[in-house]
Structure 1
């Protein structure tokens, strides 16, 4: 039987018109998490996606485990990053069970919740696998990103939460903004402890590329975007389990 996740792989290669944006966002959020956590004993990551973040995050733990539902994506990652020694488990997120009741110091859901059938199920399930002082990092696309707001005001976009053809090709099922992702997290019995933006992009991808900006400009847009999660392409949330519930 064909794995439906394998049918999405083509949207993750370099021919995707948004591959440059993806590279900026994924590199940045992995960099930010690395700075925030240092090196931890056990780190669990949901999904490989483009592989950029997983390659970086594999260096941030004594034991780095990745759950990935597509064998095709796993094979591609191993070819792209042969030096990565992470423990990659082929499983749907809903089916995975840690060995020997293992708890993790950090769990990362990087651009995952917009894909899954039921985000609440995923959040409540993996909350149980956090160590007592464990941290959960969640990154999602932002429906209210500045360039979409401009498109909406200009009449180019009818609805800020409308999925684009590229979103559909990537397997996205929903959009979040800063309020809705925080509500989703809190509804699962988690406490939001920090939130920041990922990449403050003022114009469309095509317009940004046409400017042929120096790489340092994109770094600056990511750095400035930390303080403006409501305007950035992505939202990064740090959370922990609410032990009072």
Structure 2
């Protein structure tokens, strides 16, 4: 594998976007929280029935938790990440087992086509989500699948936050959302709308993990007597029945034929 990430230089507009993302990275800290780490595993479990062999592209690696799980499944993994801090965190954990490309999706040009593309908790950050999805569709192999995951506006924890007055409506952005660089919050129908507008065909959709508490509340309680492994497993099972009340929602899409 490459010793250093390939760096693709960006336009002036894209450079401004990279600066915006670099500021947002500060809100993530030096490590992922317990809840987010568990969510990565639940995402992999959810998608396992549809994963296919071949080349995999991960768009956005953060601290590398999901990257490490993808490396358990894929020998041929390319990681596209615009922030050098996140690339550094991930390479420190995983070495050169993946090919790292430091670039925004908008600037990424390659002749390769991928059998699997994972876009997890990235679409809410981008300037133009439909254009981003359309570009990813162009990077898919003929039978490849794109896995799009975003936070869910309709999670019970978010409904409680609205009742508490923390923001005015379900699709409003909290201070934490804005600090993390989020531009929007999705419902399952609006996610499906953007996937369709990008010319992609949705094969599957649903939710991952019923979410009665906010992330910071889960982080404080996971591992103690109140949030056990069995409790989390029950939330995962319930989320399969009630996708609109999950922490994350997803669409598995293929390029339109």
**Alignment partner of 1:190 is 2:200:** yes
1:70 alignment partner in structure 2 = 83
Query: What is the aligned counterpart of 1:114 among 116, 124, 138?
Result: 124
- Structure 1 counterpart of 2:151, from 141, 160, 165: 141
- In the TM superposition, residue 5 of structure 1 has moved relative to its aligned partner by 2.5
Report SS of the residue matched to 2:126: coil
> Residue 29 of structure 2 is aligned with which of 8, 13, 37?
13
Q: Distance in 1 between matches of 2:112 and 2:82?
A: 20
Residue 181 of structure 1 pairs with residue 191 of structure 2? yes
What is the TM-score with the length of structure 2 in the denominator? Answer: 0.84
SS in 1 for 2:62: coil
Partners of 2:164 and 2:178 in 1: CA distance: 23
Q: Which string of whole-angstrom CA distances, capped at 9 and with x for unpartnered residues, describes residues 95-133 of structure 1?
A: 0012xx221111111111000111111111111111111
Please report how far the alpha carbon of residue 70 of structure 1 lies from its aligned counterpart in structure 2 after TM superposition: 0.7
CA deviations 1:66-113 (Å, max 9, x no partner) are 10001111011111333x601111111100012xx2211111111110
Distance 1:67 1:47 in 2: 6
Specify every segment of 5 or more residues in structure 2 that has no aligned partner in the other structure, as ranges: 1-14
Return closer, same or farther for 1:189/1:81 CA change in 2, 3 Å cut-off.
same
Match of 1:230 in 2: 244
Partner of 1:159: 169
CA distance in 2, matches of 1:73, 1:65: 14
Q: Matches of 2:76 and 2:98 in 1, distance apart?
A: 7
CA contact (8 A) 2:167 2:173 kept: no
Normalised to the residue count of structure 1, the TM-score between the two structures is: 0.88
Of 26, 40, 60, the match for 2:73: 60
What SS does structure 1 have at the residue aligned with 2:230?
Answer: helix
2:140 to 127, 130, 135: 130
Alignment deviations for residues 42-67 of structure 1 (CA, whole Å, 9 cap, x no partner): 11110102321111012222311110
The answer to whether the 8 Å contact 1:13/1:50 transfers is no
Residues in 2 aligned to 1:117 and 1:143: alpha-carbon distance in whole angstroms: 19
